[in-house]
Structure 1
Amino acid sequence: MSTSSEAEDDNFIEDVEDQKTLEVMTSSSKFKSLDDLVELRWYCLLVLFMAEITAFTALASVTMMVFAGANPTVVGCDHTIVNGCHEYYSLQNRSGCTPVLEYQFESVQVEFNYICDDAKKVKNTITVQTFGVLIGAAIFGQVSDNFGRRKALIISCIGNAVFNLISSYSPDLFYFALWRTIAGIFAGGITVVQMVYMVENIPRNHRMWIQNSITWSPNLILFPYVAWLAYDWRTLSVVISAASVLSFFALMLLEESPRWLVQKGKMDEARRLLVKIRKIDRLYSEEFEKDLDEVLRIEAEKHAKSNKKQKKYTFIHLFCTWKMMAQTLTFIVGIICTTFIVYALMYNMEKLSGSLYWNSAAIGASRWVVNIIVSIADYKLHWFGRKLINILSMLLTLASLGVMAVYMYTGHGGSILAIGTTVAIAMCSQLFIAKYLMVNELYPTAVRNVAVSAVSTMSRIGSMFSPQLFYLSDIAEWIPYAVLVGFQLVDLIIFCVFIPETKGVHLENHLPPKHKRIFGKRT
Structure 2
Amino acid sequence: MYSDEIIDGVGGMSRFQITIMLLVMVPKGLIAWGMLMMSFMGVVPDKWWCTDVVSDATENVGASNYTGLKMCPATGNESTCTFVYSHEKKTAISEWNLLCDMEGIKPLITAVQMTGVLIGAFISGQSADVIGRKKTYYISVFLHAGFNLTAAFSISWQMFIALRFCIGLMVGSFLVVSFTYTMEFIGTRWRPIIAAIPFWPVGSALLALTCWLRPNWSDLHIILAAIQVPFLFGYLIVPESLRWLAVHGKLEEAEKVVDQMARYNKREKPANTAILLKKLSDEERRGGNSDRKYSYLDIYRGWSMFKKSTVHQVIWLLVAFVYYGISFGVGRLTGNLYVNMFLVSVISLPSEMSVFFFNNKFGRRWTGFSFFLLAAGGAFGVVIASRVGMDETIRGKVTTTLALICRLGAASAWSCYLVYTSESYPTVIRTLGYGGANIASRLGGIISPYVFAMGGDDLLPPFVIVGSAMVVCTLLTLLTQETKGAPLADTTVGASWKPEPGDVVIADTKDIKLEEKNGN
| TM-score interval (norm. to shorter) | 0.7 to 0.9
The one-character-per-residue Cα deviations of 1:375-427 (angstroms, maximum 9, x if unpaired) are: 324434xxx34343333222222222222223334584422232122111111
- Kindly indicate whether the alpha-carbon contact (under 8 Å) linking 1:133 and 1:188 is maintained by their aligned counterparts in 2: yes
Q: Is the 8 A contact 1:165 1:237 kept in 2?
A: yes
Residue equivalent to 2:414: 432
1-structure distance, mates of 2:43, 2:226: 23
1:485 corresponds in structure 2 to 467
Structure 2 match to 1:346: 327
| 1:54 equivalent among 27, 34, 43 | 27
Contact 1:70–1:105 (8 Å) recurs in 2:
no
Distance apart, 1:71 and its partner CA? 2.4
Q: Find 2:368's aligned residue among 390, 406, 423.
A: 390
Q: Name the SS for the 1:176 alignment partner.
A: helix
2:397 to 412, 415, 436: 415
Distance apart, 1:467 and its partner CA: 0.9
Query: Counterpart amino acid of 2:316?
Result: I
The whole-number CA distance in structure 2 between the counterparts of 1:160 and 1:229 is 23
Cα deviation per residue 1:299-319 (whole Å; 9 max; x = unaligned)?
Answer: 124313431332777655666
Farther-moved stretch of structure 1 (387-396 vs 108-117): 387-396
Match of 1:469 among 444, 451, 454: 451
Identity, in percent, stands at 22
* TM alignment of 1:23-422, pairs within 5 A: 32-38=5-11, 40-77=13-50, 78-79=61-62, 80-82=65-67, 85=70, 87-89=71-73, 93=77, 98-102=82-86, 105-281=89-265, 283=266, 288=268, 291=270, 294-310=272-288, 328-380=309-361, 384-409=362-387, 412=392, 413-422=395-404
How far does residue 55 in structure 1 lie from its aligned partner after superposition?
1.0
For residue 201 of structure 1, what is the amino acid of its counterpart? F
Structure 1 SS opposite 2:85: strand
Matched-pair contact (CA < 8 Å) for 1:75–1:81: no
SS at match of 1:227: helix
Flag the structure with higher helix content. 1
* Counterpart amino acid of residue 125 in structure 1: I
Normalising by the residue count of structure 1, what TM-score does the alignment of the two structures yield?
A: 0.79
Range with bigger deviation, 441-450 or 207-216? 441-450
The structure-2 alpha-carbon separation of the partners of 1:387 and 1:343, relative to structure 1 and needing over 3 Å to count, comes to same
| Alpha-carbon distance, 1:447 to partner | 6.5
Pair 1:446–1:299, CA change in 2 (3 A): closer
Using the TM superposition, give the Cα deviation of residue 252 of structure 1 relative to its aligned residue in structure 2, in angstroms: 2.8
CA RMSD in angstroms, aligned pairs only: 3.5
Rounded Cα–Cα distance in structure 1 between residues aligned with 2:14 and 2:346: 28
Q: Which letter maps to 1:348?
A: G
Per the normalisation by structure 2, the TM-score is 0.80
Q: What whole-Å deviation, never above 9, does each CA across 1:190-230 have from its counterpart, x for those lacking one?
A: 22221222222344443323431153123222221133333
- Structure 1 position 99, deviation (Å): 4.0
- Residue 354 of structure 1 deviates from its aligned partner by 2.2
Distance 1:447 1:137, change over 3 A: closer
Aligned residues: 477
Return the letter of the residue paired with 2:364: R
Contact 2:129-2:429 at 8 Å conserved across structures = no
What is the alpha-carbon distance in structure 2 between the residues aligned to residue 427 and residue 478 of structure 1?
19
Contact 1:129-1:184 at 8 Å conserved across structures: yes
Cα 1:82–1:385, aligned 2, differ >3 Å: closer, same or farther?
farther
Residue aligned with 2:386, SS: helix
Task: Give 1:261's aligned amino acid.
Answer: L
- TM-aligned CA deviation for residue 350 of structure 1: 1.0
Post-superposition offset of 1:437: 4.1
For 1:360, what is the secondary structure of its paired residue?
helix
- Equivalent residue of 1:171, what SS? coil
Letter in 2 for 1:63: L
Structure 2 CA distance for aligned equivalents of residues 512 and 201 of structure 1: 24
- The answer to whether the 8 A contact 2:29-2:200 is kept is yes
**CA 1:376–1:506 in structure 2 vs 1: closer, same or farther (change >3 Å)?**
closer
Counterpart residue identity of residue 190, structure 1: F
RCO comparison, higher one (Cα < 8 Å, 6+): 2
The one-character-per-residue Cα deviations of 1:20-74 (angstroms, maximum 9, x if unpaired) are xx8xxx9xxxx95243224655443432221343212221111121112222234
